């Protein structure tokens, strides 16, 4: 829909599937339906500390005060451009009919397409998807990924549905999105989130490909797909790996660690992780590989703690075999998942849901670093309290951006219809061999067979898709950390405010250069 939606400057639009006269013209919806975001806040999951979206906007306003952009422009950046709410019937496996609620929010169209995950969770409502879509806008700006922010969700607990039922829900939701032009390679591109995975993305792709009149680029209509279906190598672990890179960068600044009374580096630091799903599992894996000690892990059913350390793969196997992480040999059980967050550790990684650290438990948190792997796990008020106690919060708007970064690489691969590195890999390998040969000629000495094999293994290879994705992800996460760190240092604010300032400045600059339509 181009910059048109943004240009209307409408605060928030709630579009109901049943009362739209024109299924193809979103501009009409935007003009016709206007619902203030405050009307939706009653449905929020953070009600005691303000709605989730209100909290994101609170953080935005605080950061915006450090910029000098016009008030109207800031207001346009902050508001959610469009929200689509649809209800549709699901025939359950036993023949019952259930009405399912689903949402898609497109927060900002300053860049297109918009981009963001689809989650399946009982908490999903308009406020939650608007908040998460806004976070996506700021996240994309922080890591220089050229998308506007979006988010979608279906209000179901996926554990209560069979695979066949989930497939019907996913396909019907995709169809509803396509009908209203809320999905497409240049329009809005979903990805996995809480409760969804590559499996759901394949169903979305197949359904979109069936209904679109542009099948050529259909692969780029959704990311997080399996590799055989147009996915990119490295997407599955991308978010968790990005979380690790972010923590590593933070821990490598000696001056900051000193303020926290911690040593430099990840090695030897104790870690508690909540959520062993896509993000939490991979964050745990890379932290463990870097020499951190996992002392606590928390899931739905509760937590486990062992100050001497827990082996990730052993815990995962134990959960697979027994259906629970509880009663893991050598570890103490913690009855409540949230109570696990209060135990002693250096780094706490909430990687499940929002609002896990709130005003009612923030004083019990012992960690010196909170790494926001999930979206919004620390409420705005709790983050202030942690800051006042000198605890470092590495913010979600930066820390879990690895997923969208690699989704961007997948989208580029799908639009170019060629695997990254396919045309250059052998050329690079041969070039490196030629350089090795030239070095031998120059020094007049040949490497022996073993030396040559080891040098070739290290140097004489071309970058594969996995190598390129890993390199692009690391470069992005390292660069962005130092950018937000510098903003925070310059304005003497915390990292979260630094990240928001960085995002606001980039988005505002985009608007100022492009102008506002008409």
Return all residues near 444 (Cβ < 8 A) that are at least 6 apart: none
**Rounded to the nearest 10 degrees, what angle do helices 52-64 and 126-142 cross at?**
30
The closest of 180, 188, 132 to 16, measured between CA atoms, is 180
CA distances from 115 to 105, 272, 393, 407, 415 (A): 10, 30, 25, 9, 15
Nearer to ligand NAD by Cβ, of 334 and 501: the residue is 334
Q: Cβ 376 to ligand NAD, closest distance in Å?
A: 7
The residue with its CB nearest to ligand NAD is: 277
Q: Tell me if 400 contacts ligand NAD by CB under 6 A.
A: yes
- Which active-site residues does the annotation give? 151
Q: Tell me if 192 contacts ligand NAD by CB under 6 A.
A: yes
CA 24 vs. chain centroid, Å, equals 30
Residue pointed to by tokens 């780094």: 347
d(CA 243, CA 434): 38
Nearer to ligand NAD by Cβ, of 230 and 275: the residue is 275
Q: Site for ligand NAD (CB under 6 A): which residue of 300, 427, 490, 517?
A: 300
Q: Tell me if 494 contacts ligand NAD by CB under 6 A.
A: no
d(CA 327, CA 331): 7
Q: Cβ 477 to ligand NAD, closest distance in Å?
A: 13
Q: Tell me if 276 contacts ligand NAD by CB under 6 A.
A: yes
Nearer to ligand NAD by Cβ, of 114 and 337: the residue is 337
Nearer to ligand NAD by Cβ, of 1 and 365: the residue is 365
d(CA 169, CA 153): 11
Q: Which of residues 256-275 bind ligand NAD (CB under 6 A)?
A: 274-275
Q: Site for ligand NAD (CB under 6 A): which residue of 278, 379, 405, 414?
A: 278
Q: Where are the beta strands (DSSP E) in 203-339?
A: 270-274, 293-299, 302-305, 332-334
Q: Cβ 132 to ligand NAD, closest distance in Å?
A: 7
- Largest interatomic CA distance in the chain: 81
Between β-strands 270-274 and 369-371, what pairing exists: parallel, antiparallel or unpaired?
unpaired
Q: Site for ligand NAD (CB under 6 A): which residue of 250, 266, 353, 380?
A: 353
Q: Tell me if 298 contacts ligand NAD by CB under 6 A.
A: yes
Q: Cβ 67 to ligand NAD, closest distance in Å?
A: 26
Q: Tell me if 287 contacts ligand NAD by CB under 6 A.
A: no
155's tokens: 């209000």
Which residues bind to ligand NAD, rule: CB under 6 A? 117, 192-195, 239, 274-280, 298-300, 337, 351-353, 373-375, 400, 403
């Amino acid at each position: 829909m181009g910059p048109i939606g943004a240009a209307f400057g409408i605060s928030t639009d709630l579009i109901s599937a049943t009362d739209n006269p024109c299924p193809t013209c979103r501009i009409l919806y935007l003009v016709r339906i206007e619902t203030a975001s405050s009307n939706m806040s009653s449905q929020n999951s953070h009600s005691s500390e303000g709605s989730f979206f209100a909290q994101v906007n609170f953080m935005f306003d605080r950061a915006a005060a450090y910029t000098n952009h016009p008030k109207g422009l800031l207001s346009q950046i902050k508001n959610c451009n469009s929200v689509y709410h649809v209800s549709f019937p699901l025939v359950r496996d036993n023949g019952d009919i259930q009405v399912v609620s689903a949402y898609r929010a497109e927060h900002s169209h300053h860049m297109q397409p918009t981009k963001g995950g689809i989650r399946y969770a009982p908490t999903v409502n308009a406020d939650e998807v608007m908040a998460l879509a806004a976070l996506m806008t700021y996240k994309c700006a922080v890591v220089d990924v050229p998308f506007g922010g979006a988010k979608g969700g279906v209000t179901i607990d996926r554990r209560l549905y069979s695979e066949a039922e989930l497939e019907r829900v996913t396909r019907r939701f995709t169809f509803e999105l396509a009908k209203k032009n809320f999905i497409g390679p240049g329009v809005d591109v979903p990805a996995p989130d809480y409760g969804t995975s590559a499996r759901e993305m394949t169903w979305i792709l197949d359904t979109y490909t069936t209904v679109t009149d542009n099948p050529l680029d259909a692969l780029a209509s959704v990311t997080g797909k399996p590799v055989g279906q147009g996915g990119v190598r490295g997407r599955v672990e991308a978010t968790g790996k990005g979380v690790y890179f972010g923590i590593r960068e933070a821990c490598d600044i000696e001056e900051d660690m000193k303020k926290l009374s911690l040593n430099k580096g990840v090695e030897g630091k104790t870690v508690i992780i909540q959520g062993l799903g896509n993000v939490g599992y991979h964050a745990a894996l890379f932290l463990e590989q870097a020499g951190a000690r996992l002392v606590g892990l928390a899931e739905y059913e509760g937590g486990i703690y062992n100050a001497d350390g827990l082996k990730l793969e052993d815990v995962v196997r134990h959960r697979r075999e027994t259906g629970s992480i509880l009663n893991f040999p050598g570890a103490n059980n913690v009855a409540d998942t949230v109570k696990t967050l209060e135990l002693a550790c250096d780094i706490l990684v909430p990687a499940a849901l929002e609002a896990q650290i709130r005003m009612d438990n923030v004083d019990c948190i012992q960690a010196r670093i909170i790494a926001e792997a999930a979206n919004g796990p620390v409420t705005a008020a709790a983050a202030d309290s942690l800051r006042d106690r000198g605890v470092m919060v590495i913010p979600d708007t930066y820390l879990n951006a690895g997923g969208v970064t690699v989704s961007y690489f997948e989208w580029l691969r799908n639009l170019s219809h060629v695997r990254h590195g396919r045309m250059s890999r052998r050329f690079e390998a041969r070039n490196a061999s030629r350089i090795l040969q030239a070095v031998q000629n120059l020094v007049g000495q040949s490497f022996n067979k073993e030396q040559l094999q080891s040098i070739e293994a290290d140097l004489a290879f071309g970058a594969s898709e996995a190598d390129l994705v890993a390199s692009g992800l690391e470069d992005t996460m390292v660069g962005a950390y130092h950018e937000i760190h510098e903003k925070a240092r310059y304005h003497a604010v915390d990292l979260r405010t630094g990240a928001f300032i960085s995002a606001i400045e980039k988005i505002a600059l985009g608007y100022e250069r492009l102008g506002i339509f008409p």
